[in-house]
Amino acid sequence: LIAFFQPKALAGRRVLITAGPTFEAIDPVRGITNHSSGKMGFAIARAAQEAGAQVTLVAGPVHQPTPAHVRRIDVQSAQQMHDAVLPLAGAHDVFIATAAVADWRPAAAAGQKLKKDGSGRPPAFEMVENPDILAAVARLDDGPYCIGFAAESHDLLRHAQEKRARKNVPLLVGNIGPATFGQDTNALLLVDAHGHRELPQADKLTLARQLVAEIALRLNPSTP
Ligand code: CTP
Ligand code: CA
């Protein structure tokens, strides 16, 4: 009952979230993607909405139901995700980059399906780097409070600290491996300017709610 009368932790805040993988076309029938399920980002969208935020979720190709009262924008490629996020970022208070964005894309997608040419040699195609969406939002003047994610195979704390500094974001969240993609549980490592702490193994919605509470504390440091 007391909780009912307490203002929600993110009341009046606008939260923008990226989630899922991206898909980088090679030709009309194939492309490059990864195994991100989008579960963590969708759970955070739900938790933020429950905490009173207005939530915009920019999702790569995933099979997840849209959380109630969340505005969802579907995209395929990293460039499309970038182009959807950047114009919206300035109107949001918080940006949470959970998407597993493809680092590279084929320089030019073929207009027609690539065919075997009988030589036994695979086609060669040039790759180019995709824009870094999180770093671009973090560079905005008056931009939102930015939270990055990192999945690392080794030396998580060191890589998370480095990534936090390189992208210039106040909070970087490490997925404590191994291989959390598609799993229903996870454990998180929170790295900020003051140090680091762990949110121990739990289902993704529980972790999402804990993370939302941590973000709210950082936005309203005086709240008891
Ligand atoms: N990210 C992004 N745009 C990209 C690449 C990453 O917004 N083109 C975001 C991710 O959503 C995540 C954070 O940056 O929040 C870290 O992503 P990660 O892949 O771990 O870092 P990279 O900078 O791509 O470095 P690397 O993959 O080489 O470790
Ligand atoms: Ca990457």
Name the average pLDDT for the chain: 94
CA distances from 147 to 8, 170, 204, 224 (A): 20, 7, 17, 22
Q: Are 130 and 85 in contact (CB under 8 A)?
A: no
Question: Using one digit for the tens of pLDDT, what is the confidence trace for 73-116?
Answer: 999 999 999 999 999 999 999 999 999 999 999 999 999 999 99
What pTM did the predictor assign? 0.95
Q: Whole-angstrom Cα distance, residue 218 to residue 223?
A: 10
Whether 41 lines ligand 1, by a CB cut-off of 6 Å, is no
Confidence grade of residue 152 (pLDDT, cut at 50, 70, 90): confident
150 CA from centroid of ligand 2 (Å): 8
Say if residue 132 carries a ligand binding annotation. Answer: yes
Q: Ligand 1 test: best mutation among 101, 140, 155, most atoms within 8 Å of CB?
A: 101
83 CA from centroid of ligand 2 (Å): 18
Phi-psi region of 18 (alpha: psi -120 to 50; beta: other; left: phi over 0): beta
Is 189 or 154 the better-scoring residue by pLDDT? 189
Q: Whole-angstrom Cα distance, residue 40 to residue 46?
A: 10
CA angle 87, 207, 18 (to 5 degrees): 20
Q: Are 156 and 174 in contact (CB under 8 A)?
A: yes
Whether 133 lines ligand 1, by a CB cut-off of 6 Å, is yes
Q: Whole-angstrom Cα distance, residue 83 to residue 75?
A: 10
Q: Which atom of ligand 1 is nearest to the CA of 151?
A: 20
User: Lowest-confidence range among 22-26, 39-43, 124-128?
Assistant: 124-128
118 CA from centroid of ligand 1 (Å): 38
Say if residue 134 carries a ligand binding annotation. Answer: yes
Starting from the CA of residue 173, give the closest ligand: 1
Which residue's CA is the nearest one to ligand 1's atom 18? 150
Confidence grade of residue 177 (pLDDT, cut at 50, 70, 90): low
Cα 156 from chain centre: 17
Determine the 3-state secondary structure of 187 from DSSP: strand
Number of helices (H), then strands (E), belonging to the chain: the values are 6, 12
Is 151 or 74 the better-scoring residue by pLDDT? 74
pLDDT at 77: 98
pLDDT at 180: 57
Mean local confidence (pLDDT), 22-38: 96
